[in-house]
Structures are given as structure tokens and as C-alpha cells.
A = this chain, B = another copy of it.
């Protein structure tokens, strides 16, 4: 019974891209729409994003960040003000040219990101060092005209929070950008169970308009890397272009230092590709919209459904719980739980009730255990949820470690990149070498990891040109 169902989706090793598409549709996260590259987020898909929102929003509010809302439309002249920025974004902008039946005097971009809108507003509200820092954030969608799209990973419209902050001085801005990266790391690891490598981007991979781009990089099941969150130190690029200045304590005019940073619906794509298996989605317990599905066995028998709903009530004090009381067979319901990645399934039938116990099946390992049906159950399930989270994280970490190779050998580098994973290899610092590596292996520089930043490079040679190396870089093919 279970086997037939499994056949409904492609296996990961057969065709990872197809497996991904199958999961996204069969687990009912998304639907396609008639707008190319835009997805419909179905209730479970959107609930995942809502849960990420809730967690990140709480953390931002705790650290004195305030939510605001900028218009979604950006006049073309504003977008043109910061040179690097416009160069980076102009090719992917959706342009509004008509309002009603009238052609507009100036085209409006649907925001691809909102640095310039924030800059315009910051100029109005920042006057003195007393107004700093300004720590703003907004939860919105943005539009970037993408050629090749895939649900969650790369869509024309996608959802994110974008933080935008202004600071008195370089150090304060840099601390902010790094602290946000740490917060993202914690969300990735402790909520999504996805291990990340923290680091800084090389110049060619930086955000258009930033002085440093900090990044959390992670490996998917297929060995390709995903930039799961980034945090940019913008320096004074925008504040000088937009004249965002303040009087410092000495009464002198100074341009603010800025940051911007984001977590996006892409992180959900990462979660799917790190944890999913050939039976379907596997959701980390701390983010799952439904954490427990109760499946009644022989539900037509006296007392079974009552007991199932009593159990739901008991567990709902601590977890998000549903009962599947549809008229489908239990086997179908088990498969459905597996496809949808629900962390814990509880089976309860007449015999279980008689024995005062339930069968508890965890999604990550599919192991079954029997638990006593009394007030101890909530604590036992809570412990199990932590165990599931830890196991999912450990499995992902082990796989990422297995797929990470430090090498100074060109052939080994190429073979490892082809196989899939991070190659940690020295680099001379020249963009031409990054380009050559990309051309030859399709790998890009993902980051210079924080832990490798201070390494002695004096006897290291660039993996590409053989010249004196300056940095140890994580290289990989990437999404």
C-alpha cells in the first residue's frame, strides 16, 4: 500500500528537480497561476511563511526594530540615483507605464527591493545623532523579472522581510549587519534545522550597492548551495546619493551608515530540499503548521472518534494538532501524513484505548513507539519533537560535512564540484579567476567563511591561477 503511493513522486536520485516539483504540488504548498513565474501559496505553503514571519518578527521587535511600510511603486528617477544599485536591478524590473487609461509621465518600478524608498524617507526623519539608530523593517513581496523560475526558490514575485537601518558610524552599522546574520543563522539552525556556513561575499557576489554582503550558505540534498539569508552593510553609498545626513555630537553634518537584510520564501525551498525524502516532505517540528496528525483506527467503532478528539484537546495545549476523521482508509491517511511531512502521527484505535496507550510515528525516521495515554503524553511528545529537530539537524549537518572538501588540488576541486558540495579552496582575490572557475566548473564563490577569514594564507596558491592566494573560499554550484 505504501509503495504504490511512493511511486506518485519521482525519487530524489532519479531527478532531483522533478522530485522538488512533485513535492511542492503533492504536499499542497503551491499551485501554479497563469502569471509566468508567480505562484499561488496554498494554506500550508503560506502557513510556513507565516510561522517564519512570526518568529523573525518577534526577534526583530525584541531588538528594538520597528515595522513600517513603504509604497510598492518606485519612480524611475529614484532608482537611478545610486549607480551600482540601478545597474544591478534595472534588467529585472517590472515597469508600470499606465494608470487606468492614461500613460504615466514617469515609469514606476514595482519594487525589486526598497533601499531607495527607505533612503527617501530616512532623509525626512533623520536630523540629529539623537534620531539614530533608525531600525526599520517591512514584510512585503517584491518583483524581479526572472527567466527561469521555480516555486519558492526563484519566483518573479517573492515574499520577504526587508530590514533597513541607519547608524551613527561604520562600526555600529557593521555590528547591526553581523548581529542580524547571527539571528538568521539561529532561525535557520534552531527552527528550520538547516546548518549554515556564515561568511562574507567576494566583491563580485555582493549586493548591488553594498560595501559588505554577509551571507548564510547551506547545502541542499543534491550538493548544490543555497544562499539562505543575507545581510548587507551598505556603508554610505545610499546616504551620500540621497543626502541622508545628521548633525553629530560635535554639531557637524555627517552621512549615516546603513544596512539592509532579508529572509525570503526561498528559505522554504531550502527546507524542502534539505529535509524532504522519497516519501514526501519532512517538516522540522518547530515550523510545521500541523505538528501532530491524529489518525483514528476503526473510527466507526464506539468511542474511537471521541477519544481522538479528547486527545486532540489535550495535545492542543502544547502543539498544533489535527484529527484526520475523513472517510479514507488509515493506510491512505498515513501516506498523506508522510507526503505532507507532518512531524508526528498518532494512531489511536480500540485496542490502544483498551491498553491506555497510543502509537506514535515520527516522520523523520518513520520509527514507531508506544506511549502511555495519560497526562504524561504532552511532555513525552515535547521531548520527541526536540529529538526529531535534533536528528534532522544532525542528519543535514552530517551530509553537508560529507559533501565539504578542503582542497588545493585543481582536479580534485573540479571533481568535487561536479559531484556536488562545497570545495574550500584558496583564491587570489581576482575576479578573473572567479569567472574562469565559473566557466570551467559552474561553481561560484559562495563566501569567505568567518572561521577561515583569519587563516594564514602565506603558503597557499590560488586554485585557479596558482598565484599567491589571499582568501579561503567556499565554492559550489548554487541555486
Contact = CB atoms under 8 A, between A and B. Distances in A.
Contacts of A40: 68-71, 117, 121
A59 to B, nearest CB: 16
A73 interface: yes
Contact of A96 (B69, B90, B95): B95
A39 B33 CA distance: 30
A98 interface: yes
B93 A145 contact: no
A110 interface: yes
Contacts of A95: 96-99
Given A31-B125, A125-B31, A67 B50 contact: yes
Contacts of A90: 100
Q: How large is the interface on A (under 10, 10 to 19, 20 to 34, 35 or more residues)?
A: 35 or more
A9 to B, nearest CB: 19
B96 A159 contact: no
Contacts of A73: 35, 38, 94, 143, 156-157
Contact of A121 (B31, B125, B156): B31
Given A93-B100, A96-B95, A67 B39 contact: no
Interface string A84-110: 000000111111111111000001101
27 contacts: A31-B124, A33-B120, A33-B121, A34-B78, A40-B70, A41-B68, A41-B69, A42-B68, A43-B68, A46-B66, A46-B138, A47-B66, A47-B67, A72-B143, A73-B94, A73-B143, A90-B100, A92-B99, A93-B100, A94-B96, A95-B98, A95-B99, A96-B96, A96-B97, A99-B145, A100-B145, A140-B141
Contact of A98 (B45, B94, B136, B140): B94
Given A100-B92, A121-B40, A141 B110 contact: no
A157 B40 CA distance: 21
Contacts of A140: 141
A156 B157 CA distance: 20
A404 B31 CA distance: 49
Interface of A: 31, 33-35, 38-43, 45-47, 49-50, 66-75, 78, 90-101, 107-108, 110, 117, 120-121, 124-125, 136, 138, 140-141, 143, 145, 156-157, 159
A143 B33 CA distance: 20
A33 B91 contact: no
Given A43-B68, A49-B69, A97-B98, 15 more contacts: A31-B125, A33-B121, A35-B71, A40-B71, A41-B69, A46-B67, A47-B66, A71-B157, A72-B110, A72-B143, A73-B156, A73-B157, A93-B99, A96-B96, A140-B141
Contacts of A71: 33, 35, 38-40, 157
Closest 7 CB pairs of A and B: A38-B71, A99-B145, A41-B69, A43-B66, A95-B98, A100-B145, A97-B97
Nearest to A327: B130
A96 B68 contact: no
A69 B159 contact: yes
Contacts of A96: 94-97, 110
Contacts of A31: 121, 124-125
A97 to B, nearest CB: 5
A98 B96 CA distance: 7
A103 to B, nearest CB: 10
A37 to B, nearest CB: 9
A35 B157 contact: no
Nearest to A102: B145
Contacts of A97: 95-98
A401 B41 CA distance: 45
Given A71-B157, A159-B69, A99 B108 contact: no
Contact of A75 (B35, B39, B69, B92): B35
Contacts of A157: 71-73
